[in-house]
Amino acid sequence: MTSHWDAIRRHWQLLGPPLRPPPDAVETYERELDLQSAHVLLLGVTPELADLGKTMLAVDESASMIASIWPGDTGTRKAVIGNWLDLPIASNSVDAVIGDGCLSALHSSTARLHLLAEIERVLKPGGRAGLRLFAGPEAPDDLAAVRELTLAGGVATFHELKWRIAMSCTGGYPDRAIKVKAILKAFDALFADREELSLATGWDMAVIGTIDVYATSQASYSFASAAVLVGEASRHFGRGRLAPTGTYDMVERCPLLVLEQPRR
């Protein structure tokens, strides 16, 4: 998985919403979790979230991502190498845990539940978590319809298209997982002529080419529905709710899962 993220970081600046959180999504974390005076744990090194909280510790498995994407350590924030499923911090030690798309970076329901248990462990009593989701629809989109919608100008960005394809090709519940190689395969089957896609949408060929890092990746993503993810979270938290994260394209599939009342 580390090698996958090492490849992703090389074209990080070409990525955009919904893959990266726009300003209105960042504001949602602050509004829903009241982070101003919080000691925060960030899962990953999402630079847009680096300035949230009174203090922040970011944990990422990839040294390359930390070196390339993280905006730098300061007196109040720091990034360290670590495994989300075995977080390198003490129990009951942070006020809030945040993450952007982190549940979809895991390949199974079992892994998601393991992460939720770790979040529960490290939170102080009364702590809260906010995780922006990439939630798949209850019924997958028809791929032929996705192609037609895209060529008609109904898909705003290439990154939205990637996620629509991925969410339509996942396996069954509860995992709803897909190998990233399979996302590339499905994309190539739908859009064999990339120049045609570029001309129809106005998307730069370099941006379309970002999907090619999936070719040699061994990683898998998961796109469970919001209802499934709320149900999984309920095993570790007494209260879970979904908050809208703005007005950007595909926002309806990217709510913030707000978790409160750790059950331990």
Domain match, 207 and 83 both: no
- CA-only gyration radius of the chain, Å: 18
32 or 10, which is more confident? 32
Whole-number pLDDT of residue 264: 77
Q: Could you give the CA distance from residue 229 to residue 226 in angstroms, rounded to a whole number?
A: 5
Size (the chain), residues: 264
Domain match, 196 and 256 both: no
Assess whether pLDDT exceeds 90 at residue 11.
Answer: no
Q: What are the two backbone dihedrals, phi and then psi, of residue 56, each rounded to the nearest 5 degrees?
A: -145, 135
Domain match, 192 and 244 both: no
Domain match, 94 and 178 both: no
Domain CATH code at residue 108: 3.40.50.150
DSSP annotation string for 3-44? HHHHHHGGGGGG--TTTS--HHHHHHHHHHHT-TT-EEEEES
In which domain, by residue range, is 156 found?
Answer: 143-219
Domain match, 203 and 79 both: no
Domain match, 111 and 241 both: yes
Domain match, 126 and 18 both: yes
Assess whether pLDDT exceeds 90 at residue 7.
Answer: no
Assess whether pLDDT exceeds 90 at residue 42.
Answer: yes
Using a 10 angstrom Cβ sphere, with 0-12 exposed, 13-18 middle and 19 or more buried, the burial of residue 72 is exposed
In tens, the pLDDT along 121-154 reads 999 999 999 999 999 999 999 999 999 999 999 9
Bridge partners for 80 per DSSP? 59
Using a 10 angstrom Cβ sphere, with 0-12 exposed, 13-18 middle and 19 or more buried, the burial of residue 12 is middle
Whole-number pLDDT of residue 1: 54
In tens, the pLDDT along 60-112 reads 999 999 999 999 999 999 999 999 999 999 999 999 999 999 999 999 999 99
Domain match, 155 and 248 both: no
Using a 10 angstrom Cβ sphere, with 0-12 exposed, 13-18 middle and 19 or more buried, the burial of residue 2 is middle
Assess whether pLDDT exceeds 90 at residue 8.
Answer: no
Domain match, 236 and 106 both: yes
Q: What is the mean pLDDT of residues 39-64?
A: 97
Closest by alpha carbon to 180, among 85, 249, 106?
A: 106
Q: Could you give the CA distance from residue 214 to residue 182 in angstroms, rounded to a whole number?
A: 8
Pair of tokens at residue 24: 């209105």
Domain match, 33 and 90 both: yes
The structural domain count of the chain equals: 2
Domain match, 213 and 229 both: no
Q: What is the mean pLDDT of residues 199-216?
A: 96
With beta carbons less than 8 A apart as the criterion, state whether 200 and 151 touch.
Answer: yes
User: Which own/partner contact pairs does 31-36 have at CB distance under 8 Å and 24+ positions apart?
Assistant: 32/130, 32/243, 32/256, 32/258, 33/96, 33/98, 33/128, 33/129, 33/130, 33/258, 35/96, 35/98
